[in-house]
């Protein structure tokens, strides 16, 4: 399977094995306080990079949904550029660990999905520019 951005061959990971894969980080908050700010969560997402692509996962359009609960828990649904991605089993944990560092965050759950499939259209213009696509 080829990477849609660089065209190089990738080690295949079975998408059936990784669909719905979840990673958890952080701890439920025991005291009140403000939940994490959405901007701060997005900032943490922008700290995570696919090791083969020099653009963060947020600007690549890999984050399909994020929900911040009143108790500080954060739920994220994400995808990867291809179901055959060799880091499919690791990337959700990288995301969960990064978001868990945001002040006010409780438990972070990241779930991997392949539906809908990722396309280049999901990238921000900045990401496309960085990759020479525009």
Q: What is the pLDDT of residues 52-65, one digit of tens each?
A: 899 999 999 999 99
Whole-structure pTM value:
0.85
The pLDDT of residue 93? 96
Q: In which band, very low, low, confident or very high, does the pLDDT at 125 lie, cut at 50, 70 and 90?
A: very high
pLDDT at 7 over 50: no
Per-residue pLDDT tens for 41-92? 999 999 999 888 999 999 999 999 999 999 999 999 999 998 888 888 899 9
Choose between 80 and 10: higher pLDDT.
80
Q: Express each pLDDT in 12-46 by its tens digit.
A: 456 666 777 888 999 988 877 899 999 999 999 99
Please report the pLDDT score of residue 9 as a whole number.
Answer: 39
Identify the pLDDT of residue 2.
42
Half-sphere exposure of residue 124: CA atoms within 13 angstroms, side-chain side: 12
Residue 10 has pLDDT above 60, yes or no: no
Assess contact for 99 and 25: CB atoms under 8 A: yes
Contact 104, 28 (CB under 8 A): no
Q: Distances from the Cα of 60 to the Cαs of 8, 46, 84, 88, in angstroms? A: 18, 10, 17, 15
């Amino acid at each position: 399977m080829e990477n849609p951005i660089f065209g190089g061959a990738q080690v295949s990971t079975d998408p059936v094995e990784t669909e719905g894969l979840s990673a958890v980080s952080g701890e439920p908050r025991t005291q009140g306080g403000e939940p994490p700010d959405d901007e701060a969560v997005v900032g943490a997402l922008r700290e995570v990079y696919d090791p083969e692509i020099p653009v963060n996962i947020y600007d690549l359009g890999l984050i399909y949904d994020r929900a911040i609960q009143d108790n500080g828990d954060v739920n994220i649904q994400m995808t990867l550029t291809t179901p055959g991605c060799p880091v499919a089993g690791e990337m959700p944990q990288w995301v969960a660990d990064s978001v868990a560092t945001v002040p006010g965050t409780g438990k972070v759950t990241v779930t991997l999905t392949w539906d809908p499939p990722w396309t280049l259209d999901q990238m921000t213009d900045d990401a496309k520019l960085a990759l020479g696509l525009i």
